[in-house]
Structure 1
């Protein structure tokens, strides 16, 4: 599918499974942050909307103004953080690279890359709107095969 030219109706009808849509204060700023820090690819980027891909996964960004008649708009805080309690996990995303890009891209490292007991190396990074992004990759076993 060509995300740059697909109609909104065809794009919407194509979505399956699980979707993630974030309301953000600045779509272009957030898209650039996600491209820089996590290597996502932004499509259809405008001040109101963007489609981002990470591998085969799709993420949509919407500006607050596009939700003028949506019931969620009234629940948003005027100041970040917006995403308290939500972890947006990016598997197969290098936490060292993401952390190295984070601060220059306007983000905050909440937790530096670390090995976790559940078999992943991960970092916690906050974007300007306060969403928690967790880049992670599997730990490589240091043991030799028996």
Structure 2
């Protein structure tokens, strides 16, 4: 599917499985964060909407104004963080590189890159709206053997 030219109707009809839409204050700010830290692909970028892809998965960003008649908008806090309790996991993204870039660009790192017992090395980075992004990669056999 060509995300740059597909109609909204055809795009919506194509979605299956579980979808993730993030309501954000500013599309450009969120895309700058995602590109700088994770190098995801952005499509159909406007002030109101963007399609973001990573490893064949699709994420949608919607600006607040696009939810004018959506009941969810009334539940969104005026002050950040918006994303409390939500983890957005990006698999096959080096958490050490992501944490370094986050620090260099002034984004909070809640947890530095850490080897976890569930077989992943991951870190937690907050975006400008307070969503927690968790880049991770699979541990090597040597790294796995060192976890107690």
Bin the TM-score by the shorter chain.
over 0.9
Q: How far does residue 141 in structure 1 lie from its aligned partner after superposition?
A: 1.1
Q: How far does residue 72 in structure 1 lie from its aligned partner after superposition?
A: 0.3
How far does the alpha carbon of each residue in 1:65-117 deviate from its partner, in whole angstroms, 9 at most, with x for none?
10000000000000110111111111111101111111344421111101111
Q: What's the counterpart of residue 45 of structure 1?
A: 45
Q: What's the counterpart of residue 146 of structure 2?
A: none
Unaligned stretches of 5+ residues in structure 2: 144-148
Aligned mates of 2:3, 2:68 — CA distance in 1:
24
TM-score, structure 2 normalization: 0.93
Aligned mates of 2:83, 2:14 — CA distance in 1:
27
TM-score, structure 1 normalization: 0.94
Task: Compute the RMSD of aligned alpha carbons.
Answer: 1.2
Cα pair 1:33 1:106 within 8 Å, conserved: no
Q: What's the counterpart of residue 100 of structure 2?
A: 100
Deviates more, 1:82-91 or 1:102-111: 102-111
Q: What's the counterpart of residue 83 of structure 2?
A: 83
Q: What's the counterpart of residue 61 of structure 2?
A: 61
Within 5 Å, give how 1:106-121 maps onto structure 2. 106-121=106-121
Deviates more, 1:30-39 or 1:8-17: 30-39
Q: Tell whether 2:48 aligns with 1:16.
A: no
SS at match of 2:35: helix
Unaligned stretches of 5+ residues in structure 1: none
Q: What's the counterpart of residue 142 of structure 1?
A: 142
Aligned mates of 2:129, 2:106 — CA distance in 1:
10
